[in-house]
Amino acid sequence: MSVSETGLSFGSIRMRGAPANHTLVLVDGVEARGGGEAFILSGMGIGEVERLEILRGPQSVFFGSRASAGVVNIITRRSTEPGTGGEIRAMVGDGYDASAFAYARGAQGGVSLSYGARDDHGYDASGKGGEKDGSRRRSLTLSGDWQATETLRFGLTQSQARETYGYDNSDYLATGEADYMQDIRDLNSKRDERIGQVFAEFDTLDGRLTHRLSYERSRYAQDFPGDFPVQMLGVTRALKYRASLSLDGVEVEAANHLLNIMAEQIRWSESATGIAAQEKSTDSVALEYRGFYGNGLDVQAGIRRDNNKGFRDFTSWNLGLSKDFGNGLRLHASAGAGMTNPTFTELFGYPGWSVGNPDLSPEVNRSIDIGLAAETADGRGQVDVTLFREKLTDMISSGSCATGFCSVNVAGDTVRRGVEIAGSYALRDNFSLRGSYSYIDVDQSDGARAVYIPRHEAVLGASYQHGQGTVGADLRHVAGVYAPQGWVGGTTAELPDFTTLDLYGDYALNDRVKLVARVENVFDTETKEAWGYGWRGRSAQIGFSTNW
């Protein structure tokens, strides 16, 4: 998984070299960006996040068409233990980052509330040493659940974030990198992100058949000033039902053989300055089997049928298995197929930059991977090696139409193949190492270079704990990244390889108060991730966390 950044508040996530809009990003299981465009990574505060869940490869059967390359699910903090409590975190450096979390839980349910505030002074996105392009973000998340009866449970999640960030204009008539980004003062964009979910869960047949009905809504609004002022709005509404049936006569949570039956109705609405609101919809049914056979063999298989309005219907599928041999070795493999519809800007263009192409075909991704995980005899170390191959048909890329610059389908198949290695080893009880490496080779059918995808990316980390304190370091190396030259007539250019070092540490003053600090890019290395843009140099923060 790679992340490329064009400015402080505009990052894109790509899974195994796939386009950014092929990775579905969720917050608490709800689509993070309304409307169907690629998710923009702009920095949720760490104090708001409980954990991340990541699935690689086509996951369309369970998560829908947007998950043709993978899924990232951001789980926000919430209460699980009875009682009341909370936490406050704050860090200062080149700006500040603060969060507050509080919860209350009783016998029949609970409620959680988290608030985040960040003011990042940023850096000059033009790379010309001009004014810093910073960001200011505020977010609020409310979640709760209520066990109405022994078999009926209700729940809700509501989240809202508002962000204002500075950026510099790009000159598409430039003839070189030095002239592409223009350092402009007081150029700011605003985002308004809202997601919500209400659900009901009902147990029948003594817990052997469970039902879940949910309604989800995501809304994303953004406006850009500049030479071509643009306002964009995207809304996604989804009604989802899932029935889970235990096939072996026990409760669903304890079942070794589980059948999921799903039905979904999803509606997307998108509009932009000068472009009327456009509607898309998908009605889907899916069937999924999960089996745990007790001899180390786990199997998952599923099939989904999407009836699409405006595009052809599609049947997605996936198959996964894991075999634990009991001697520290585990074999795992998966395969699947998923489809991603063209985005709003691909179909209708971006005002002032590109024209639409309503004749675009959806992209179809087919994937297979196989891997082996091994654990040392003493249990102190483990390593996992995975080989993958993905084939993308009708890939959408930038091109030329009769009326101007637009998105086009690339004829033939684009093949992505690579290897992923991850491992860790505890040298001592208080000293551990971890590392990962990925290699991705992309063969586009049009012969062009794949952009924003590192051919090589490696991370080596270490952490050491002594008494009440912990220190750690991460060394990251990125090589073989190409990026599009943004000016008219530009092709692609290779970006400089880079290696960065990050340091972090914490010290517990007592059971409730902890000091924290981190330094990113210690050696102030040039870390360019996009052509024509500047990069963030060394940054440091120090702060504390306290809980009650």
Q: What is the mean pLDDT of residues 206-231?
A: 90
- The percent of residues in the chain predicted with pLDDT above 90, rounded, is 66
Cα torsion for 491, 496, 497, 502, to the nearest 10°? -120
Task: Assess whether pLDDT exceeds 80 at residue 123.
Answer: yes
Quote the mean pLDDT of the chain. Answer: 91
Task: Assess whether pLDDT exceeds 90 at residue 345.
Answer: no
Amino acid at 337: A
Q: What is the mean pLDDT of residues 3-32?
A: 89
**Per-residue pLDDT, 494:** 93
Of 183-192, 289-298, 456-465, 530-539, least confident by mean pLDDT is 183-192
pLDDT tens track for 364-383: 999 999 999 999 989 999 99
Inter-residue contact 474 to 433 (CB < 8 Å): no
Cα torsion for 440, 445, 446, 448, to the nearest 10°? 10
Write out the DSSP string of 502-526.
EEEEEEESSSSEEEEEEEESTT---
Helix, strand, coil shares, percent, the chain, to 5? 5, 65, 30
Q: What is the mean pLDDT of residues 438-443?
A: 95
Highest mean pLDDT among 31-40, 44-53, 220-229, 520-529: 520-529
Q: What is the mean pLDDT of residues 23-48?
A: 84
CA distance 123 to 120: 9
The model's confidence at residue 46, banded by pLDDT at 50, 70 and 90, is low
CA distance 151 to 155: 14
For 225-362, where are the E strands, in sequence order?
230-246, 257-272, 275-292, 297-309, 314-324, 329-340
Task: Assess whether pLDDT exceeds 80 at residue 225.
Answer: no
**Per-residue pLDDT, 93:** 92
Helices (H), 326-426: 344-348
Query: Interior CA angle at 350 toward 345 and 355, to 5°?
Result: 90
**Per-residue pLDDT, 356:** 86
Task: Assess whether pLDDT exceeds 80 at residue 515.
Answer: yes
Task: Assess whether pLDDT exceeds 80 at residue 184.
Answer: no
Q: How many CA atoms lie within 13 A of 269 on its CB side?
A: 10
**Per-residue pLDDT, 164:** 93
Of 216-220, 233-237, 272-276, 461-465, least confident by mean pLDDT is 272-276
pLDDT tens track for 272-289: 888 888 888 999 999 999
Task: Assess whether pLDDT exceeds 70 at residue 423.
Answer: yes
Of 320-329, 375-384, 399-408, least confident by mean pLDDT is 399-408
The model's confidence at residue 457, banded by pLDDT at 50, 70 and 90, is very high
Task: Assess whether pLDDT exceeds 80 at residue 47.
Answer: no
Element (H, E) at 180: helix 177-180
CA distance 380 to 540: 32
| DSSP, res 453 | -
| DSSP, res 273 | T
CA distance 336 to 415: 15
Task: Assess whether pLDDT exceeds 90 at residue 173.
Answer: no
Q: What is the mean pLDDT of residues 477-494?
A: 84
**Per-residue pLDDT, 257:** 97
The model's confidence at residue 226, banded by pLDDT at 50, 70 and 90, is low
Inter-residue contact 93 to 519 (CB < 8 Å): no
Task: Assess whether pLDDT exceeds 80 at residue 445.
Answer: yes
**Per-residue pLDDT, 385:** 98
Q: What is the mean pLDDT of residues 458-472?
A: 97
CA distance 287 to 505: 46
Task: Assess whether pLDDT exceeds 80 at residue 318.
Answer: yes
CA distance 163 to 165: 6
Spatial neighbors of 462 by CB under 8 A, at least 6 apart, are: 431, 432, 433, 434, 472, 473
Amino acid at 510: N
**Per-residue pLDDT, 490:** 65
Inter-residue contact 122 to 168 (CB < 8 Å): no
Task: Assess whether pLDDT exceeds 70 at residue 45.
Answer: no
**Per-residue pLDDT, 227:** 66
For 38-187, where are the E strands, in sequence order?
49-56, 70-76, 83-93, 95-106, 109-123, 133-147, 152-166, 169-170, 181-182
Q: Whose CA is closest to 7, among 35, 37, 40?
A: 40
Residue of 350 and 14 predicted with greater confidence: 14
Element (H, E) at 479: strand 469-479
Inter-residue contact 517 to 504 (CB < 8 Å): yes
**Per-residue pLDDT, 417:** 96
Q: Distance of CA 298 to CAs 290, 322, 334, 370, Å?
A: 8, 5, 12, 15
CA distance 404 to 417: 33
Helices (H), 276-384: 344-348
**Per-residue pLDDT, 37:** 87
Of 258-267, 362-371, 405-414, 417-426, least confident by mean pLDDT is 405-414
CA distance 525 to 84: 45
**Per-residue pLDDT, 49:** 84
